[in-house]
């Protein structure tokens, strides 16, 4: 169902949450249903992580990483993420790149360098943006803010399935440990930590299908007064 009400500004739905909470799949489906653009902000951090590994920039070197962001040649085309014109969509999904992305995301300079690239995705008829700080920092005036959660076990099981489907090897115990570590780092960092915006609606997806989560979000969106 497409929105028919006029919005004064291009509408944005932000979907934040911890790793493997279902954000990516749910955000893509909400965007497709509404005919909105999609921002997978985690992909930008992952692309930066991949480039930093290629150029041998240490994850601790915030200044060098921020300079790298300014020079990155990134494009998103038909669901594919490209770095310097080469499709790296599969490579950036590797766990080691996700962990490196989480490590470089602690630097305020890196986050600041990525702000303009993220806000540029806000174009008519609307945007669905998923990440950690979409509702708190990047789009504080979003039309609807959603915070997705799910139990650690449900998230580890989802990540396991995703990785196996993409041809990576994965072990449940390692995944559970990695995702807890990643949550702790994403939530405890000083710069834009993972947390629900004060005006976010929380949705626990542990026992929900993708369609149920999507329907709930579209229902909330359609109920927002224009």
Contacting positions for ligand DC (CB under 6 A): 19, 41-42, 45-46, 98, 101-102, 105, 131-133, 182, 186
Kindly tell me which of 101 and 175 has the beta carbon lying closer to ligand DC.
Answer: 101
Measured from the CB of residue 171, what is the shortest distance to ligand DC in angstroms? 18
Residue nearest to ligand DC (CB): 42
Kindly tell me which of 3 and 42 has the beta carbon lying closer to ligand DC.
Answer: 42
Kindly tell me which of 3 and 131 has the beta carbon lying closer to ligand DC.
Answer: 131
Measured from the CB of residue 71, what is the shortest distance to ligand DC in angstroms? 19
Measured from the CB of residue 2, what is the shortest distance to ligand DC in angstroms? 27
The Cα–Cα gap between 14 and 143 comes to: 8
Distances (CA, A) of 177 to 86, 91, 166, 174: 32, 22, 21, 5
The Cα–Cα gap between 26 and 212 comes to: 10
Q: DSSP labels for 61-78?
A: -HHHHHHHHHH--EEEET
Distances (CA, A) of 201 to 76, 146, 147, 198: 29, 5, 6, 9
The Cα–Cα gap between 9 and 148 comes to: 25
Question: If 0-12 CB within 10 Å is exposed, 13-18 middle and 19+ buried, where does residue 44 land?
Answer: buried
Measured from the CB of residue 90, what is the shortest distance to ligand DC in angstroms? 13
Distance of CA 179 to the CA centre of its chain: 15
Measured from the CB of residue 132, what is the shortest distance to ligand DC in angstroms? 4
Kindly tell me which of 19 and 29 has the beta carbon lying closer to ligand DC.
Answer: 19
| β-sheet with 144-149: strand ranges across | 37-40, 127-131, 12-16, 144-149, 201-204
Kindly tell me which of 148 and 214 has the beta carbon lying closer to ligand DC.
Answer: 148
Measured from the CB of residue 206, what is the shortest distance to ligand DC in angstroms? 18
Kindly tell me which of 60 and 226 has the beta carbon lying closer to ligand DC.
Answer: 60
């Amino acid at each position: 169902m497409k929105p028919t009400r006029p919005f004064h500004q291009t509408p944005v739905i932000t979907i934040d949450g911890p790793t493997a909470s279902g954000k990516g799949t749910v955000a893509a489906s909400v965007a497709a249903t509404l005919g909105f653009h999609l921002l997978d902000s985690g992909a930008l951090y992952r692309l930066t992580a991949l480039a930093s590994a290629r150029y041998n920039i240490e994850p601790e070197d915030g200044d060098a990483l921020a300079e790298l962001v300014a020079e990155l040649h990134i494009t998103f085309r038909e669901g594919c993420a490209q770095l310097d014109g080469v499709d790296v969509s599969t490579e950036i999904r590797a766990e080691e790149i996700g962990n490196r992305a989480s490590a470089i995301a602690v630097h305020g300079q890196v986050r600041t360098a990525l702000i303009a690239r993220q806000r540029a995705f806000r174009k008519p008829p609307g945007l669905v943006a998923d990440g950690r700080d979409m509702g708190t920092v990047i789009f504080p005036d979003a039309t609807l803010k959603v915070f997705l959660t799910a139990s650690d076990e449900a998230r580890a099981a989802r990540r396991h399935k995703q990785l196996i489907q993409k041809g990576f090897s994965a072990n449940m115990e390692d995944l559970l440990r990695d995702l807890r570590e990643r949550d702790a780092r994403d939530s405890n960092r000083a710069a834009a930590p993972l947390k629900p915006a004060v005006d976010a609606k929380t949705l626990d997806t542990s026992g929900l299908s993708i369609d149920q989560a999507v329907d709930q979000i579209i229902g909330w969106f359609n109920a927002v007064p224009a």
